[in-house]
Amino acid sequence: MLTMNEAAEAHGVCKLCNALSTKLCDGKMPDGRTCDARICRAHTRTVALVTTSRFGRRTCDTRDLCPDCVAAGRTP
């Protein structure tokens, strides 16, 4: 079992508050890459992406965005 310090080193810390980071931002940058900012649960905006296949099957997936990507209007 990891200590809090070991977990923080393994997962990183939130870029906004230094809490344990549990997610990476999925916002698309202008160059086509994803933002990948480390963010904690409190600073994450989760959006659902619903897609429909050509056969009519619907699937739902979630993406996580950091506050900077939300403010910039970046999509996952």
What tens digit of pLDDT does each residue of 26-67 get? 999 999 999 999 999 999 999 998 999 899 999 999 999 999
More confident residue, 76 or 27: 27
- Is pLDDT of 6 > 80? no
Length of the chain measured in residues: 76
pLDDT score, position 2 = 56
Burial 41-51 (b: 16+ CB within 10 A, else e): eebbeeeeeee
Average pLDDT over residues 1-6: 59
Identify the pLDDT of residue 76: 79
pTM metric for this prediction: 0.75
